[in-house]
Structure 1
Amino acid sequence: MPDTPAAPATAGAPAVEQHTIDHVPETERHGRVRDLFTMWFGTNIAPLPLVTGAMGVQVFHQSFWSSVLAILVGQLVGAVFMALHSAQGPQLGVPQMIQSRAQFGSVGALLIVVVAAAMYIGFFASNIILAGKSLHGLAPAVPVDAGIVLGALGSALICWVGYRLIHTLNKIATWVLGIGILVGLAVVITRGLPDNFFSAGSFTFAGWLATVSLSALWQLAFAPYVSDYSRYLPRTVRTASTFWATYWGSCLGSTLPFLAGTVIGLASPGTDDTVAGFDSAAGSFGPVVLLLFLFSVINHNALNLYGAVLSLITVVQTFRPSWTPRQTARGIVSALVLIGALVIATALSSDFVSSFVNLVLVLLVVLVPWTAINLIDFYLVHRGNYALADLFAPDGGRYGRFNPVALTSYALGILVQLPFVATSLYTGPLVAPLGGADLSWLVGLVVTAPVYYVWARRVAAHATPEPTTEIAPESATPTSPAV
């Protein structure tokens, strides 16, 4: 895959990120396309995908090969949408949630922004619980709650420094965690697998589809912030290169712990704690696994905090359009999110992770139609050409405060999913006839995309042509004092 060199003016760019939701000018672009591979490979090797991957055999009682096939199908399909979002970053130079204003309007986009913030705060809370448990496993003298606080502070520091440190740590994580989890799996296998490893469980179509959905939804959950980590790349990078670097990095990086979770779920059938099961099954290598997972949780969780912070800043800036939030604002909002997440995590640490999986499935019901609308609008309706300055205009500029076409299509996309949702919080009436499988995300994509495309194309045919992003102002943000 061809790489595009960094912009020449970036050598003196500050290590601590100064931008938040504002447009990144060409003179401050830096990085190479291959950075996206390590970004998404490194960040996906974490305990939460390990836990999610084990659900195929633990919850849906699939056989080993059935679960493996379901994981692969889900990852390969779900990552398509995730990587298409990533390719938007270099072209626009703004965070994903800001770009959503072009489809939904400045105020209309708030629903998506708030849902994304809630989901990533929840992810952050669940991951710091895993960090606390990993630290407690390494050092039993450290209480889980103390480990939760330490893990949260580590992620907050990474978030405060920002974009460059996040990418750097994931370059390290790609090698350290990638090799570590492979060695750990090799140790588990060589120590001996149960006699019924390949015969336990069985293929059921409903269970298989449910496992596919979990795998695909893991990828779709990145959609609201994936382009946040490609927006500093020069605009000259090829869209195809951006797509494939993100696609294979995320696919391979998440498939590895998903498959490891499947192995551990079958190798340690007596435990509900997959991370503890890995520790036990790996024998003397177990503490190394826990140490690597502690690093991975802190590293991975910085993305959840970073995404939540940018989303919350977007909410505030919607009502204060003259505000240009900078690094100080990111630090303040990070601290507020950190405090809130710590309260949630320490209060609910005993059963939060399992409960949160169901909450994420519900939240994704409202994110799936957003994904369809955003991608259709970017690639087929506006073809990447947006008036960047209007994304920050007090009245929403040409995009207005509300876009009835997008909002109506979005509402329809949610409604058509409801009969197919299968969670402990809500189960639709068509789930039982399908054998318990949750196909809501697929229905949401298939219905929302054509409805929005046809309707939006008709409106666009009578609208004023968009200026291309190439001639947009170099700084598409307000000029009031920054924070």
Structure 2
Amino acid sequence: MPQMSRQDPLIENHTVDYVPLAERHGKARDLFTLWFSTNIAPLPIVTGAMVAQVFHLNLMWGLLAIALGHMLGGIVIALASAQGPRMGIPQMVQSRGQFGRYGALLIVFFAALIYIGFFISNIVLAGKSIVGIVPSVPVPASILIGALSATAIGVIGYRFIHSLNRIGTWVMGGALLAGFIYIFAHDLPADFLSRGGFNLAGWLATVSLGVIWQISFSPYTSDYSRYLPADIGITRPFIATYLGATLGTILSFAFGLVAALATPEGTEAMVAVKQATGWLGPILMVLFLLNIISHNALNLYGAVLSIITSIQTFASHWTPSIKVRVVLSGVVLIGCCLVALGASANFISQFIGLILALLLVLVPWASINLIDFYIIKRGHYDIASIFQADGGIYGRFNLHAIVAYFIGILVQLPFANTSLYVGPYANLVEGADLSWLVGLVVTCPLYYCLATRQKTQESRAVKLGYTD
């Protein structure tokens, strides 16, 4: 099994091209540390606090909904991650094997938009965190510090991102454990266990939030597993990613819920964390800031790879170099900083609302991706065709995938409950967005029927001598 040698460069050489077998390195456990550490951050903690503050669940029902939602959604991210070692290419490039060379462009565009949205939101959050720790630092300077730090990590690339998260797993995991111990070692409010209760709407909303949270990572999970040795198989990357992604998020959501219940009702989430953890609070804030920056590097890395994929679609003989990735990282950095510096006070909540609305387009993509890889093609793709100008055996457009994709979006709209659009049946279960479930239930069998029908027709044509 090839391992990383001492001569291998720190800065990643590959962009969207295939990673040769001789350059594969790493172990499946690297995926556990990456996704565990990434998800111990303020955003999942704030979201976890919503379980008590917005959905009004008590501790027991809240923890159950959190665990179930992330355990269900974690299946999607783990299945997507396990594709990386077999394919050796980024997730968005792989979509050409399902949608065709040009058909995949729309998916790549949406993915880039989501990455950039999260990158901007996180540099605003990082800027506010720096000001909270060191009030003398101006907000614009704080935003720039957060953005430049994340960009430096993203430019160095794959190997450094994994190294940081190996360290982060122990540091952030230990810090969160210390936070739990501190809270439970001190007096808790009399209503800690009884505040809230069970309500179906809040419980389903929490489960849905967990599922959507995990699916949102699926467009770039295999970007961080594509360097693993090809003979590592499917099972080990799946288990490592699943355990890392679900345990990290469940612990963070649970921490937010516990902190919210351990402080007076109505306390803002991060203020609740500070109050509930006493002297440990400022230390946690610093660690959370560092993790925001580290996690945000993934968003920049994914955005740049998506942009390069889009450009390379029209220039099949072009193999982008590390210089191109550096230049594009700088362009994205400047554009995002300009937006962040002009952001309004409620920018993060507005932008997160937009991103969650865009997740409507990810559910049918994830459905098609998983059905195609695991059931239709069973992991066997022609890598050369994926990079050919005419799409090779996958063509420029795969109408079956495109039709299934758009139908998968349309069937969700009546049930959507987002900041941009609320469907006529959005409140069948008040407060719970169940559109993702409709998308999965419709898109998976639809694409399977269309894809297998196409395969049957091609086989018949070959037998009758109608094709070469």
Mapped partners of 2:3, 2:52: distance in 1 = 51
TM-score normalized by structure 2?
0.95
Aligned: 1:102 with 2:102: no
Supply the AA of the counterpart residue of 2:2.
A
Partner of residue 402, structure 1: 397
Query: For the Cα contact (< 8 Å) 2:85–2:233, is it kept in 1?
Result: no
Alpha-carbon offset, residue 453 of structure 1: 0.6
CA contact 2:409–2:439 (8 Å) conserved in 1: yes
Aligned-pair distance for 1:463?
Answer: 3.3
Q: Name the residue aligned to 1:302.
A: 297
**Paired residue for 2:409?**
414
User: Residue 164 and residue 401 in structure 1: after superposition, are their counterparts in 2 closer, same or farther (change >3 A)?
Assistant: same
In structure 2, distance between residues paired with 1:188 and 1:65:
17
Pairing 1:35-434 to 2, within 5 Å after superposition: 35-269=30-264, 273-348=268-343, 350-434=345-429
- Cα 1:327/1:401, change in 2 over 3 Å: same
What are the superposed Cα offsets for residues 274-308 of structure 1, whole Å, 9 maximum, x if unpaired? 22321232221111011100111011111111111
Separation in 2, partners of 1:144, 1:389: 48
Q: Please tell me the residue identity of whatever aligns with 1:40.
A: W
Q: 1:282 to 1:414 in 2, by over 3 A?
A: same
Q: Deviations over 1:425-477 (max 9, x none)?
A: 21111122323321111111111001101110111233379xxxxxxxxxxxx
Q: Deviations over 1:406-436 (max 9, x none)?
A: 0000011011111111123211111223233
Q: CA RMSD in A?
A: 1.6
Gaps of 5+ in 1: 1-5, 466-483
The 3 A distance-change label for structure 1 pair 265 and 144 is farther
Aligned residues between the structures:
460
Native 8 Å contact 2:12 2:159 kept in 1: yes
Q: Percent identity?
A: 53
Aligned equivalents of 1:464 and 1:35: distance in 2?
A: 41
For 2:313, the aligned partner's letter is T
Q: Secondary structure at 1:94's aligned position in 2?
A: coil
For 1:132 and 1:189, the matched residues in 2 are separated by 31
CA distance in 2, matches of 1:145, 1:64: 39
Q: In structure 2, how many angstroms separate the alpha carbons of the residues matched to 1:57 and 1:354? A: 18
Separation (CA, whole Å) in 1 of partners of 2:172 and 2:99 = 39
- 1:85: Cα distance to partner? 0.4
Residues of 2 paired with 1:167 and 1:272: CA distance?
35
Q: Is the 8 A contact 1:10 1:28 kept in 2?
A: no
SS at match of 2:381: coil
Give CA deviations for 1:179-213 in whole Å, capped at 9, x if unaligned.
01111222233333222222222211111111111
Equivalent residue letter for 1:101: R
Equivalent-residue separation in structure 1 for 2:257 and 2:336 (angstroms): 29
- Separation of aligned partners in 2, 1:260 and 1:352: 25
| 3-state SS of 1:433 partner | coil
State how far apart, in whole Å, the 1-side matches of 2:263 and 2:145 are.
29
1:457 and 2:445 aligned: no
| CA displacement 1:70-124 (0-9 Å, x = unmatched) | 1101100000010000010000100000000011111111111111111111111
Distance 2:459 2:161 in 1: 40
- Once the two structures are TM-superposed, the CA of residue 269 in structure 1 deviates from its matched residue by 4.5
Q: 1:109 to 1:287 in 2, by over 3 A?
A: same
1:24 equivalent to 2:19? Answer yes
Q: Quick check: 1:53–1:260 contact (8 Å CA) kept in 2?
A: yes
Query: Secondary structure in 1 aligned to 2:369?
Result: helix
Q: Is the 8 A contact 1:206 1:437 kept in 2?
A: yes
AA at the equivalent of 1:224:
P
Which amino acid in 1 is paired with 2:102?
A: V
Distance 1:101 1:273 in 2: 44
Task: Quote the Cα distance in structure 2 between the aligned partners of 1:349 and 1:267.
Answer: 31
Q: Deviations over 1:236-276 (max 9, x none)?
A: 10211110011001111111111111112223356664223
- CA distance 1:9–1:66, change in 2 (3 Å): closer
Distance in 2, matches of 1:274 and 1:145, equals 24
Q: Distance in 2 between matches of 1:264 and 1:360?
A: 26
Task: Note if contact 2:12-2:158 (Cα within 8 Å) is conserved in structure 1.
Answer: yes
SS in 2 for 1:67: helix
1:10 touches 1:27 (CA, 8 Å); kept in 2? no
Q: Counterparts of 1:464 and 1:302 in 2: how far apart (Å)?
A: 45
SS in 2 for 1:107: coil
Code of the aligned partner of 1:189: F
Q: Distance in 2 between matches of 1:45 and 1:103?
A: 33
Provide the secondary structure at the position in 2 that maps to 1:141.
coil
- AA at the equivalent of 1:152: A
Match for 1:15 among 7, 10, 30?
A: 10
- SS of match in other structure, 1:224: helix
Q: Distance in 2 between matches of 1:282 and 1:50?
A: 14
Gaps of 5+ in 2: 461-468
Residues 8, 431 of structure 1: alpha-carbon distance in 2 compared, 3 angstrom cutoff = closer
Are the aligned partners of 2:4 and 2:26 in contact in 1 as well (CA < 8 Å)?
Answer: no
Q: Report the Cα distance in structure 1 between the residues aligned to 2:407 and 2:113, rounded to whole angstroms.
A: 22
Q: Could you tell me how far apart the structure 2 residues matched to 1:8 and 1:201 are?
A: 52
Cα distance change on mapping 1:8 and 1:356 into 2, 3 Å = closer
Task: Indicate the SS of the match to 2:32.
Answer: helix
| Alpha-carbon distance in 2 for matches of 1:423, 1:202 | 25
Deviation of residue 8 (structure 1)? 4.8
Q: 1:10, CA displacement in angstroms? A: 4.4
**Residue 31 of structure 1, CA deviation:** 0.3
The 3-state SS of whatever aligns with 1:463 is helix
Distance in 2 (CA, whole Å) between partners of 1:464 and 1:19 is 37
Q: 1:13 to 1:433 in 2, by over 3 A?
A: same
1:321 and 1:192 map into 2 onto residues whose CA distance is: 64
Q: Distance in 1 between matches of 2:114 and 2:3?
A: 37
- Counterpart contact for 1:410–1:448, Cα < 8 Å: yes
Check 1:343–1:59 CA distance in 2 against 1; reply closer, same or farther (3 A cut).
farther
Distance 1:265 1:415, change over 3 A: same
> What is the identity, as a one-letter code, of the residue corresponding to 2:186?
R
Q: How does 1:436-475 map to 2 (within 5 A)?
A: 436-463=431-458
1:9, CA displacement in angstroms? 7.0
